[in-house]
Structure 1
Amino acid sequence: MTQAAPTAVPPAERGATRIADRVVAKIASQAAREAVGELPEGGAPPQATVVVHHDVARVRVHLELDYPTDIGARCARVRRHVAERVGALVGMEVPEVAVHVERLHPVQGAVHGRTR
């Protein structure tokens, strides 16, 4: 009697990898820092929270920006970069990155108020 050679178990059936929400949040925070660039004087670094369900991460980023700035363009850059980095580093789909601007910091020497 000859025994059949053992068959290899496909990778998807060998086990599972679970990445903690706090790890994904740390990656998202770092990605937001990269996208924001230099922090405003006295500003706090971006912070992120995530909710992971299966292989889908929904991210919420809280950040502070300098003023004046193009808030919409900077937030779009943060959303794009966070989604790309989280997707690339942890292999999760990121359908939503909500950006909350918590505070604006006036730039030294910037003109404030109305001008004509």
Structure 2
Amino acid sequence: MPARRPAPAARGATAIADRVIAKIAAQAAREALRGVPEGAEPPHAMVVVHHETARVRVSLELEYPSDIGAQCGAVRRRVVQRVKALAGMEVPEVAVHVERLHSAHSRGAAQGRIR
């Protein structure tokens, strides 16, 4: 008589490190923004994972002028979607922190091209 194998859920657990979820969230933010403004740092994320949920804080720089609220909303939606799809975690909170705005005018002034 063959031995019974335990159910897959009873065989063990999978743990995903916070830094892995942070990388997923940062990449999702880049995807949502469709690129990074010239001279800007790419988005980065900090994550706290507790059981099957992840709380995410994304810091980013945006182009000016732009609809900041719409871009932050797009980042939130994309982060939730990608973390759920790739890690199977719920994301009840995505805090978006806009660190800096980049404008073509200020870039040109810094380079000495605007008179």
Give ranges in structure 1 of 5+ residues lacking alignment: 110-116
- The corresponding residue for 2:36 is 39
Matched, 1:13 2:10: yes
Residue in structure 2 matching 1:100, options 93, 97, 101: 97
Give ranges in structure 2 of 5+ residues lacking alignment: 107-115
TM-score, scaled to structure 1:
0.87
Q: Alignment partner of 1:24: what SS?
A: helix
8 Å Cα contact 1:50-1:58 kept in structure 2: yes
Amino acid at match of 2:49: V
4+ runs of 1 displaced by more than 3 Å?
none
1:1-116, aligned counterparts within 5 Å?
4-108=1-105
Q: How many residues align?
A: 106
- The corresponding residue for 1:112 is none
TM-score, scaled to structure 2:
0.88
Q: Identical aligned pairs, as a percentage?
A: 66
User: 1 or 2, which has the higher helix percentage?
Assistant: 2
